[in-house]
Amino acid sequence: MSIASFSLFLTGTFFLVAGIQFIRGKWLFLLAGNNFGQATNKEATRAGRIVGLIFLLTFLLCITIMFSIIYDFRLTFLPVIMGIVLLYSYVVIIRYIVHWIKNG
């Protein structure tokens, strides 16, 4: 196992554990805007589930890339996935900036 695949395994394991904990609602204090003193509300739980799902998808991507390195096969769909992720990220960032400008 090469260093790259080992580091992808460790990163993927982190994303798996963190994703499960976010979906369970245990690590919601790590989300921005959710402080220790606040009780978990419905919005924080929903955000935790969304972040947890994204972390689980990132785990699957890390494991797929790791197996492509180990078994030496080419991932032709990887640029398409990266493009979709970047486009989605831009949309989310612009949406929150517009919300911040409107509401202060």
Domain spans in the chain, listed from the N-terminal domain onward: 1-73, 75-104
Token duo for residue 102: 């409107």
**pLDDT tens, residue by residue, 79-93:** 888 888 889 889 988
pLDDT at residue 37 greater than cutoff 70: no
When the pLDDT of each residue in the chain is averaged and rounded to a whole number, the result is 86
Give the closest residue to 26 by CA, choosing from 13, 40, 12: 40
pLDDT at residue 75, as a whole number? 82
Q: In 3-state terms, what secondary structure has residue 57?
A: helix
Quick one: tokens of 53? 């799902």
Q: Greater confidence, 83 or 1?
A: 83
User: What's the predicted TM-score (pTM) here?
Assistant: 0.74
Alpha-carbon torsion angle 23, 24, 30, 32, nearest 10: 50
- Alpha-carbon distance of 33 to 13, in angstroms, equals 26
Q: What CA–CA distance (Å, rounded) separates 92 from 55? A: 16
Quote the crossing angle between the two packed helices 42-71 and 3-24, to the nearest 10°.
Answer: 160
- Would you state the structure tokens that stand for residue 79, as one six-digit string? 């640029």
